[in-house]
Amino acid sequence: MVAAHSELERFALSIYGADGVSAACLLLQARADLDVNLVLFAAFVGARGGALTPSQVSSAGSRIDEWNTEVVRPLRAVRQRLKSGPSPAPDERTAALRSAIQKLEIEAELIELAELGALGETLDTEPVPSGTAARAAAAAAAAAISVVLRAKTGRLPDVNESDAIAAIADAAAAFDDDTTQVGR
């Protein structure tokens, strides 16, 4: 288990493990080529009452895109390729290598997340109180994720993407930082 150091890291690691969130994030990654960390950052900002502008998404992208392109994605590609080949993969030796690469990939993603966290500290957001404000927090998180999708793709989310965004936003609104668990 990776130790989370910042509030954004605790949030991201916790909600990514919530029911349906990893699948929702991966759907957005596959269909809209969105960076999962950027999606989780948007959910974090929105769930705390913040709103993201296309300009802020662009700034966030500028801060992480090169790292993601040159480090995170190549590690992911090698890890995924080792599932089925090249020969001698897959075997016990290459499975161990794949596991080691996965750990490096996670470390690289945490570095990216730290960069987003540093940017987030400059944004003016306030925590949304728990309880009845959960719907407002979920709506704000969904809106922030939708801004990311529109800024990166130039289009509105389709039905499946909207469902994925809602799943992530609901988990973001349910996040309880005191326990670093998603509460339902």
CB atoms inside a 10 Å sphere around CB 82: 19
CB atoms inside a 10 Å sphere around CB 35: 25
Question: Tokens for 14?
Answer: 């916790």
- Of 40, 180, 65, 175, the C-alpha closest to 120 is 40
Q: Crossing angle of helices 92-120/54-67, nearest 10°?
A: 140
Asked if omega into 90 is within 30° of 0 (cis), the reply is yes
What per-residue confidence (pLDDT) applies to 67?
A: 97
Give the three-class secondary structure for 175: strand
What per-residue confidence (pLDDT) applies to 91?
A: 94
Give bridge partners of residue 176 from the DSSP assignment: 181
What per-residue confidence (pLDDT) applies to 128?
A: 52
Q: Can you give the pLDDT of all 184 residues of the chain as single tens digits?
A: 344 468 999 999 999 999 999 999 999 999 999 999 999 999 999 998 888 999 999 999 999 999 999 999 999 999 999 999 999 999 999 999 999 999 999 999 999 999 999 998 887 655 555 554 778 999 999 999 999 999 999 999 999 999 999 999 999 999 976 544 443 3
What per-residue confidence (pLDDT) applies to 3?
A: 46
Provide the 8-state DSSP code for 154. Answer: S
Give the three-class secondary structure for 41: helix
Give the integer Cα–Cα distance in Å for 43 and 56: 14
